[in-house]
Amino acid sequence: MTNQRIDRVVRILKRLVRQWKEPVVGHYRDDPFATLISCLLSLRTKDETTHAASRRLFALARSPRAMLELPIPTIERAIYPVGFYHTKARTIQAVCRTLLDRYGGRVPHALDELLTIKGVGRKTANLVVTLAYRQPGICVDTHVHRITNRWGYVRTRTPEQTEMALRKQLPKRHWIVFNDLLVTFGQNLCHPTSPWCSRCPLDAFCPKLGVTRSR
* Residue 215 lies inside a defined structural domain of this protein: no
> What is the end-to-end Cα distance of the chain in Å, rounded?
23
* pLDDT tens for each residue of the chain, 215 residues long: 777 899 999 999 999 999 998 887 778 888 999 999 999 999 889 889 999 999 999 999 999 999 999 999 999 999 999 999 999 999 999 999 999 999 999 999 999 999 999 999 999 999 999 999 999 999 999 999 999 999 999 999 999 999 999 999 999 999 999 999 999 999 999 999 999 999 999 999 999 999 999 99
pLDDT attached to residue 21 = 86
Instruction: Burial-class residue 215 by CB neighbours within 10 Å (0-12, 13-18, 19+).
Output: exposed
* Residue 200 lies inside a defined structural domain of this protein: yes
**Predicted structure pTM score:** 0.90
pLDDT attached to residue 63 = 97
The b-or-e profile of 23-51 (16+ CB within 10 A means b, else e) is bbbbbbbebbbbbbbbbbbbbebebebbb
Name the domain boundary from 132, 163, 191: 132
pLDDT attached to residue 4 = 80
- Cα separation, 159 vs 46, in Å, equals 19
**Please, which residues have CB within 8 angstroms of residue 129's CB and are 6 or more apart in sequence?**
109, 110, 111, 114, 135, 136, 137
Residues 35 and 127 grouped into a single domain: yes
Residue 164 belongs to domain with CATH number = 1.10.1670.10
- Cα separation, 135 vs 162, in Å, equals 19
Instruction: Burial-class residue 186 by CB neighbours within 10 Å (0-12, 13-18, 19+).
Output: buried
Name the domain boundary from 132, 155, 176: 132
- The answer to whether the beta carbons of residues 129 and 135 sit under 8 Å apart is yes
Residues 149 and 119 grouped into a single domain: no
- Cα separation, 30 vs 25, in Å, equals 11
* Residue 214 lies inside a defined structural domain of this protein: no
Residue 121 belongs to domain with CATH number = 1.10.340.30
Q: Within 13 A of 79's CA, how many CA atoms are on the CB side?
A: 34
Closest to 93 measured CA to CA, from 114, 65, 116, 121? 65
- Cα separation, 179 vs 52, in Å, equals 22
* Residue 213 lies inside a defined structural domain of this protein: no
Residues 168 and 189 grouped into a single domain: yes
Omega within 30 of 0 (cis) for the link into 81? yes
- Cα separation, 17 vs 45, in Å, equals 21
Structural domain including 112 reads 31-132
Helical axes 32-42 vs 47-60, angle rounded to 10°: 130
Name the domain boundary from 132, 147, 176: 132
pLDDT attached to residue 117 = 97
